[in-house]
Amino acid sequence: MRLIITIIIIINHGDISLNVEAINKHIYTLCMCCSTVSIKHPLKYKLIKLAMSGVPLETIKGLLRLTVKRGIGLAVRDVTTSDPYIVVWHGDQKVRTAAVEKSVNPVWDEELTLYATEPIEPLKLKVYDSDMFFDDTMGDAEVDITPFMESVTNNEEPMVDGTVIAKVIPGRENCLIEESEIIWKDRKVTQNMCLRLRNVECGEIELMMQWIEVNAMRRTTTYP
């Protein structure tokens, strides 16, 4: 298998300089892409992609792994049903799920990964109906993740699995239907949420959010 490496020359105001660190990063990324790292180590692969997109890794507090579980009683947009998918925003990041065809009670069980930086910004999501020409909206929701991030900061290991770290009650700053517990589960700060969609006639979304510590991955994600 041939590996073709392109060396990038940085041109600045007429002066040509060789950015060795940039070259090392590109070589490393090309090598990683030629392996199975994206399958075996998806979170490390996420960090590599972030680094190569220009995001300074030292500014990343950690990763938010959002599991979009299911929708309940979503709005009908296609005569008798819908083909829903969800788009999630966190700051300038945007990720989305796949569309589930012909269901107002879709099950996604899909993991989406975002990175957390300062200042803390809310999670925003919007549900759409997938169509050939125009995707109709099916409601939106917002979650203030400040309590979650405070739980991460104040967390002191080790804790017994299932320990409740904090409780978040429904309020104007979130779309929670019921009280949500932030717990210690599988060595991760975890929060399960059920959100009521706004700006729509009906619909709920169930999510799970987990904190992924990146310090250990950052130590092992090194360049030649």
Residue 52 is predicted with a pLDDT of 60
pLDDT of residue 94: 94
- What is the model's pLDDT at position 111? 96
Whole-number Å distance between alpha carbons of 98 and 165: 32
Q: Are 172 and 195 in contact (CB under 8 A)?
A: no
Binning pLDDT at 50, 70 and 90, where does residue 183 land? Answer: very high
pLDDT of residue 61: 78
**Could you report the per-residue pLDDT of 110-159, keeping only the tens digit for each?**
999 998 877 889 999 999 999 999 999 999 999 999 999 999 988 766 78
Question: Which range is least confidently modeled, 31-35, 72-76, 94-98?
Answer: 31-35
- Give the SS3 label for residue 21: helix
**What is the model's pTM?**
0.76
Q: How far is CA 56 from CA 212, 218, 222, in A?
A: 17, 12, 14
CB 23 within 8 A of CB 224: no
Domain ranges of the chain: 10-54, 62-215
Mean predicted confidence (pLDDT) in 66-78: 97
pLDDT at site 35: 44
| pLDDT(8) > 70 | no
**Residue 38 clears pLDDT 50, i.e. is over it:** no
- Separation of alpha carbons 11 and 170, rounded Å: 53
pLDDT at 59: 67
| Domain 62-215 in CATH 2.60.40.150 | yes
